[in-house]
């Protein structure tokens, strides 16, 4: 099986690039003296998680109980489920624990703490801390933090520590802003840990992270582990944040030219939003890549050429500056292959049931990925 034999659209991984991305993050966190607990929600692929583990990762992070089930079946037993638990699914959590899965939950309310305790003793729980006003979590200075800690302790749960995710790092627009956000994420989460300990509560784990803050952090004192996910593939949003180069993007969508509108300067390809996803994450960044950056079949970016529009199974390729270049029709004839780099690797990968993985020798292998909850 060679590249030429693949049907399109397909999700293509550059194996060497995946491996470089894994090494880079691991080496960085090794140097900062903290453990890496990679978030497997980006790839949802056992092969890739095994490579992360082989490189030195300790435990994994998941975004769904389905991920917890699949990765536990594949031999991973140290799993942090980093989304607040939907209470009706606590029975599934208990069943996983009883089968030997070291599943850890997160929560940020007294109601959830009480429900987790009522579901039976010994569940390990991290309290989610809000360090950036972005999403979930308890203010590190709030009385609620200690109340939740005490409720968990009194109710028979294992208080595993604190965790946070500075999703606001995606809105940073300079290396300095990213470094400051990384320090804010660290300092506020560490502060929450201190408050718990000062109140006589245990707080063994201090878990922070996002790919941008993990790559920007100058120090991670008093943090025990970092979670990051999208770094394994990288994408145009990460490139726009300045934390990766274009050639660090390991995931692309292989596509075929199916038509032209020369008068409008359009090349039509068979990768629409069903393949690329509807994610427009670069729309708010200084450089907007539309639905993706266009590369030749070998993966070399074609400067200025983007997927400017997308319908379900049609992508429209044109120059970013909008000029109608009739010559594109000759340059990219019908049947020609192109590769599209995604805005957001988590969203684009999720449109596919497997990856075609291109080795440095040109050979292909297939790695399965899964979806659902």
Binding range to a second copy, per CB under 8 A, among 72-80, 81-89, 156-164, 198-206: 81-89
Are the C-beta atoms of 84 and 128 separated by less than 8 Å?
yes
Distant-in-sequence, close-in-space partners of 288: CB < 8 Å, separation ≥ 6: 282, 320
User: Residues 274-313 vs a second copy: string with x where CB under 8 A?
Assistant: xx-xxxx------------------------------xxx
Nearer to a second copy among residue 34 and residue 369 (C-beta): 369
Q: How far is the CB of 227 from a second copy (least distance, A)?
A: 13
Q: Does 33 bind a second copy (CB under 8 A)?
A: no
Nearer to a second copy among residue 32 and residue 350 (C-beta): 350
Is residue 174 packed enough to be buried (19+ CB in 10 Å), middle (13-18) or exposed (0-12)?
exposed
Q: Does 323 bind a second copy (CB under 8 A)?
A: no
Map tokens 């201090």 to a residue. 206
Distant-in-sequence, close-in-space partners of 127: CB < 8 Å, separation ≥ 6: 106, 107, 108, 138, 145, 148, 149, 152, 159, 161, 162, 163, 192, 196
| 131: Cα separation from own chain's centroid | 19
The token pair that represents 173 in the structure block? 């627009």
Q: Does 72 bind a second copy (CB under 8 A)?
A: no
Nearer to a second copy among residue 19 and residue 261 (C-beta): 261
Q: How many residues line the site for a second copy (CB under 8 A)?
A: 59
Q: Does 167 bind a second copy (CB under 8 A)?
A: yes
Distances (CA, A) of 233 to 87, 119, 121, 215, 218: 32, 37, 38, 14, 23
Nearer to a second copy among residue 94 and residue 280 (C-beta): 280
Q: What are the residues binding a second copy (CB under 8 A)?
A: 7-10, 41, 63-64, 83-89, 92, 107-109, 111-112, 115, 130, 133, 135-136, 167, 256, 258-261, 264, 268, 270, 273-275, 277-280, 311-314, 316, 333-335, 344, 346-347, 350-353, 371-373
């Amino acid at each position: 099986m060679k590249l030429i034999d693949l049907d399109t659209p397909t999700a293509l991984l550059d194996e060497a690039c995946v491996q470089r991305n894994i090494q880079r993050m691991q080496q960085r966190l090794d140097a900062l003296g903290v453990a890496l607990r990679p978030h497997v929600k980006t790839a949802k692929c056992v092969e890739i998680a095994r490579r992360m583990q082989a490189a030195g990762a300790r435990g994994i992070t998941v975004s769904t109980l389905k991920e917890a089930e699949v990765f536990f079946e594949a031999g991973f037993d140290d799993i942090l489920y980093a989304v607040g638990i939907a209470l009706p699914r606590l029975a599934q959590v208990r069943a996983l624990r009883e089968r030997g899965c070291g599943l850890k939950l997160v929560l940020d309310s007294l109601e959830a703490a009480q429900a987790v305790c009522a579901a039976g003793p010994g569940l390990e729980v991290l309290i989610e801390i809000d360090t950036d006003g972005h999403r979930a979590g308890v203010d590190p200075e709030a009385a609620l933090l200690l109340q939740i800690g005490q409720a968990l302790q009194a109710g028979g749960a294992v208080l595993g520590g604190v965790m946070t995710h500075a999703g606001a790092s995606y809105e940073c627009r300079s290396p300095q802003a990213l470094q400051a956000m990384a320090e804010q994420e660290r300092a506020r989460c560490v502060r929450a840990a201190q408050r718990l300990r000062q109140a006589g509560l245990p707080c063994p784990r201090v878990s922070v992270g996002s790919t941008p803050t993990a790559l920007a952090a100058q120090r991670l004192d008093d943090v025990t582990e970092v979670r990051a996910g999208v770094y394994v593939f990288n994408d145009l949003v990460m490139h726009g944040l300045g934390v990766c180069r274009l050639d660090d993007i390991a995931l692309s969508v292989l596509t075929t030219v199916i038509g032209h509108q020369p008068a409008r300067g359009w090349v039509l390809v068979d990768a629409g939003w069903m393949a690329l996803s509807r994610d427009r994450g670069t729309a708010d960044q200084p450089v907007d890549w539309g639905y993706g950056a266009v590369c030749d079949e070998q993966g070399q970016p074609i400067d200025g050429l983007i997927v400017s529009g997308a319908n379900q199974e049609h992508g429209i390729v044109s120059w970013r500056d909008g000029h109608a270049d009739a010559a594109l029709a000759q340059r990219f004839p019908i049947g020609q292959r192109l590769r599209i780099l995604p805005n957001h690797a988590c969203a684009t990968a999720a449109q596919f049931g497997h990856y075609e993985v291109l080795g440095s020798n040109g050979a292909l292998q297939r790695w399965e990925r899964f979806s659902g909850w």
